[in-house]
Amino acid sequence: MREDDDVELLERVRALRAAGSGPKQVAKALGLRPGQAAVLVRRTAAADQAVKPGDRPVVGCWVSPGWSSGLDLSACPPTWEGQDSSASEEAIGAGLAQLLVARRERASRVTVTGVLVDVYCLGVKSVVEPHAMGAGSLEAHRRSYYNAFAEPSLPIGIEQAQAIVYGAVGYARELGFEPAPGFTQAAAVLGEPAGALPQIGFGNQGMPLYLNGPRDDARTVLATLERTRGAGNYHYVLASGPM
């Protein structure tokens, strides 16, 4: 068998497996003996496992509504701003971008990770550790992940997800803040950008704005902003009760 034919056959096996076909169905569809089909199924599985998580096909990316409130998207594709109809300073999601990324792990399996990004100040606040699930469970997982929002999550491309996460990390580091533990593992699924990413203007209207969370050390955060930005060059809002 020529190498080109072998590659084409493996791609056909991969497509059948992704559609949910078992080894017997693969053998029937391709006119092979069951033993031959089983060998090809194992080969495609091994090849898929050897690929780095960030290089695997993207199954879906989503972000929470209101994520772009107060951000400068003038250097980004026009569709990025137009997609977020909830964007306003009063939006429930203002200041936060909750992202979910899913990549194909192998036939009928996906790897998912979640990242909560403070786009006004702190960058990556928390991470949902990458984990595998059946592709058929992804939609239910997405709905559960965004159940706190009144409006549906927004489907986005992987470049936009990378621009939000990596851009916010860079902005936060300029302010003196590192991403939350687990970010390296999430970044492995998010993947390396294919080229220069569109530049998002972070902060609320260009100014760092700290909105304290229930597990933040607000005193340390404000001391850091005072050191890196100086008095009058940042804003903050502190909750006086449980959040």
Where in the chain are the domains? 3-50, 54-200
pLDDT band at 242 (very low <50, low <70, confident <90, very high): very low
Q: What are phi and psi of 119, to 5 degrees?
A: -85, -5
Q: What is the Cα–Cα distance from 182 to 141, expressed in whole angstroms?
A: 20
What does the pLDDT average to over 102-120? 92
Residue 2 has pLDDT above 60, yes or no: no
Which of 17-26, 105-114, 169-178 tops mean pLDDT?
169-178
- Say what the pLDDT of residue 48 is: 62
Mean pLDDT score across all residues of the chain: 88
Instruction: Decide if 149 contacts 58 (C-beta within 8 A).
Output: no
More confident residue, 58 or 50: 58
- Say what the pLDDT of residue 241 is: 47
What does the pLDDT average to over 194-202? 95
Taking the CB of residue 35, how many other CB atoms lie within 10 A of it? 10
Residue 243 has pLDDT above 50, yes or no: no
For the ranges 97-101, 167-171, 235-239, the lowest mean pLDDT is seen at: 235-239
What does the pLDDT average to over 17-38? 82
Mind spelling out the 3-state secondary structure of 88-157? Answer: CCCCCCCCEEEEEEEEEEECCEEEEEEEEEECCCCEEEEEEEEEEEEHHHHHHHHHHHCCCCCCCCEECC
Residue 160 has pLDDT above 80, yes or no: yes
Could you tell me the two tokens for 195?
Answer: 């080229």
What does the pLDDT average to over 14-40? 81
> Each residue of 113-137: pLDDT tens digit?
999 999 999 999 999 999 999 999 9
Taking the CB of residue 55, how many other CB atoms lie within 10 A of it? 9
Q: What is the Cα–Cα distance from 147 to 124, expressed in whole angstroms?
A: 20
Instruction: Decide if 169 contacts 124 (C-beta within 8 A).
Output: yes
What does the pLDDT average to over 52-73? 89
Mapped onto helix, strand or coil, the DSSP state of residue 170 is helix
- Say what the pLDDT of residue 197 is: 97
46 contact partners, CB below 8 Å, separation of at least 6:
none
Q: What is the Cα–Cα distance from 141 to 100, expressed in whole angstroms?
A: 10
More confident residue, 54 or 43: 43
Could you tell me the two tokens for 84?
Answer: 């977020």
